[in-house]
Amino acid sequence: MKKTLPWCFPVLLVLAIVAGLQAQTGGAEKAVAGLEQQWMQSQKTNNPDLVAPLIADKFVATGPDGKVTGKAELLASAKATKYDSMEYEDVKVTVFGDAAIATGASKAKGTDEKGKPIDEYVRWTDTWVKMPNGKWQCVASHVSALKS
């Protein structure tokens, strides 16, 4: 018994550290998934004020047409676009320390900023970073069109 006792403490310590890291990662996954839901809610309610604080100042977006835009363009488009329906599916979040990748798909109907009808099915990837103030912000987004 005395020979195995010294080995128990390091093993228990490692297990406690692993459990703590898993809890932190799980909390981060839930936090980012919640932010993705807030983003969807901003689209459903046509309220860009809900998404504005989630987007980093140096945000970069690549649209399904390959066009690269920033935060200002995203918010201007969000303000002018009117969704009749917006649904997310297959949302998954993977955390890497202070970074997270969220993936999913969305189906949307409405009118875009130019008044043209929207009927789209897309897959998206968002990159989130936990900022020095402890809040998560999206720093990059990529959207690819899917066949309906």
119: domain CATH number is 3.10.450.50
Q: What pLDDT score does 147 carry?
A: 84
- What is the span of the domain harbouring residue 77? 5-145
The total domain count for the chain is 1
More confident residue, 103 or 15: 103
How large a percentage of the chain has pLDDT more than 90? 80
pLDDT at 80 over 70: yes
Helix (H, G, I), strand (E, B) or coil at 53: helix
Q: What is the pLDDT of residue 26?
A: 75
Instruction: Look at the pTM and tell me if it is higher than 0.85.
Output: no
Is 7's pLDDT higher than 50?
Answer: no
Task: Residue 84: count other Cβ atoms within 10 Å of its Cβ.
Answer: 13
Surface-to-core class of residue 5, CB atoms within 10 Å of its CB (0-12 exposed, 13-18 middle, 19+ buried): exposed
Closest to 121 measured CA to CA, from 131, 135, 106? 106
